[in-house]
Chain A
Amino acid sequence: EVQLAESGGGLVQPGGSLRLSCAASGFTVSPNYMSWVRQAPGKGLEWVSIIYPDGATYYADSVKGRFTISRDKSKSTLYLQMNSLRVEDTAIYYCGVSGSPNLGDSWGQGTLVTVSS
């Protein structure tokens, strides 16, 4: 069974940094497309970042240059390094997996990031 478990969320001041983790089980991370999607409180969904099986990475314009997606194959873990955080980055962050690009077959339960002074 595919399982994804996010961690690392919390309260951070504007301009601060945070690293999110997503522990994967029931499948192998590297041959799949892994993504981060976020949802601001009471709002809709926004795709944040994707890492392809070949290691290529892509980002939404809203986070480009500030966020970095990466994976550790040996630990079956996906990461999202978030720097220069802004109030508008406040959201629940979900990690997802798919065998196809730009799709989310399964998602974790999410971790809440709050950016506030």
Chain B
Amino acid sequence: QSALTQPASVSGSPGQSITISCTGTSSDVGGCNYVSWYQQHPGKAPKLMIYDVSNRPSGVSNRFSGSKSGNTASLTISGLQAEDEADYYCSSYTRSSSLYVFGTGTKVTVL
């Protein structure tokens, strides 16, 4: 099972919006609505930001939103803030022999 494909890095200025893509196949991202997104600051454990493609857990800022089209899921961060600087990973349930697959990860830099 290959990892889902994410851009290595995305950057933006404070207040701007950025979008991180997550591309898989019809066996994972394209074949279900079980895509989630995680934020990880250096030396910290990952934190759930989005589940089931577009649902936001309580306590997560509404500046974070998720969507999906075909085999590609996306995470959008609007009103970018310094605290959003972190690594972001997508994950999807998969029909392959492994149950879940993660994305390659994207480093978000706030300029």
A and B from one complex: no
